[in-house]
Amino acid sequence: MDKTALRRRLVEQRRNMEDRLHRSDLLQQVMRIWLVDRPDTVIGAYWPIKGEFDPLPILHRWKEDGELLDKPLRRRIGLPVINKEHKTLTFHVWYPGCPMEEDAYGIPKPKDTEVIQPTLLFVPCVGYGTGGYRLGYGGGFYDRTLATLRPKPFTVGLGFREAYVDDFEPEAHDQPLDALLNDNGVVWPLPDLPTR
């Protein structure tokens, strides 16, 4: 199947998911537990479109939890803003109720907030495969951004389990993600099997 047809099928399937509330709930729990051990204070995420999983409720909670620690942390969340010239993404501070405007694709983006450098990035996946490979909408924005960001943030793909593509064939420019989470749990990297 070609990439365009595969994208269309996966987005359609995601939009028609019957138990999305339950599945979102599961993925929220996976994200929350996964985040516990992370030292990051600046996380990049996305405003969900086309049936994507919404990472913002958990991240907002993560931010508030930081304020309740014995030694409070100033945690911040960023959303992508497209750089039209370079076709890359920069991340701008977001908080609930923050002023927003629509980008060229009609996706809400923060209006005139500070640019931040996430050390951890949650990346939306139309599809994903083993090795941490990901299929997006075809803009190449994440690939280009990750190819240029130094230091490179830790990247975590988010998707529902149906978006797993068994025979995903990466292209030369595809930047593998460091981890993949779905509503079943951590699906990449694979856990070490016990030996004896």
Ligand X SMILES: Nc1nc2c(c(=O)[nH]1)N(C=O)[C@@H](CNc1ccc(C(=O)N[C@@H](CCC(=O)O)C(=O)O)cc1)CN2
Ligand Y SMILES: Nc1ncnc2c1ncn2[C@@H]1O[C@H](COP(=O)(O)OP(=O)(O)OP(=O)(O)O)[C@@H](O)[C@H]1O
- Taking the C-alpha atoms of residue 31 and residue 17, their distance in angstroms, rounded to an integer, is 20
Report whether 138 belongs to an annotated binding site.
yes
Residue 115 beta carbon to ligand Y: minimum distance, rounded to whole angstroms: 20
Residue 4 assigned as binding residue: yes
In degrees and rounded to multiples of 5, residue 113 shows phi and psi of: -100, 170
Question: Which DSSP string do the residues of 106-127 spell out, in sequence order?
Answer: S-EEESSPPEE--SEEEEE-SE
Minimum CB distance to ligand X smaller for 138 or for 189 = 138
In the bound state with ligand X, the residue whose beta carbon lies nearer, of 83 and 184, is 83
Which one of ligand X, ligand Y, none interacts with residue 188, CB within 5 to 8 A by kind?
Answer: none
Q: 164 among the known binding-site residues?
A: no
Task: Give residues in contact with ligand X (CB under 6 A).
Answer: 46-49, 52, 80, 82, 89, 105, 107, 124, 136-139, 141-142
Q: Which of residues 127-186 bind ligand Y (CB under 6 A)?
A: 135-144, 147, 173-174
Q: Are strands 179-182 and 76-83 parallel, antiparallel or unpaired?
A: unpaired
> 120: annotated binding-site residue?
no
Closer of 53 and 164 to ligand X (Cβ): 53
Using rule CB under 6 A, residue 103 touches ligand Y: no
Q: Which is nearer to ligand Y, 115 or 147 (CB)?
A: 147
User: Residue 173: which of ligand X, ligand Y, none does it interact with, CB under 5 to 8 A by kind?
Assistant: ligand Y
Alpha helices in the chain, H assignment, sequence order? 3-15, 20-35, 56-67, 141-148
Cis, peptide link before residue 191, omega less than 30° from 0: no
Q: Are the CB atoms for 186 and 180 separated by under 8 Å?
A: yes
Q: Which is nearer to ligand Y, 118 or 136 (CB)?
A: 136
What amino acid occupies position 87?
Answer: K
Q: Residue 119 CB: number of other CB atoms within 10 A?
A: 16
Percent composition of the chain: helix, strand, coil (DSSP 3-state, to 5): 25, 25, 45
Residues contributing to the annotated binding site for substrate = 52
Residues contributing to the annotated binding site = 3-7, 52, 134-142
Residues contributing to the annotated binding site for ATP = 3-7, 134-142
Write out the residues near ligand Y by the rule CB under 6 A: 135-144, 147, 173-174
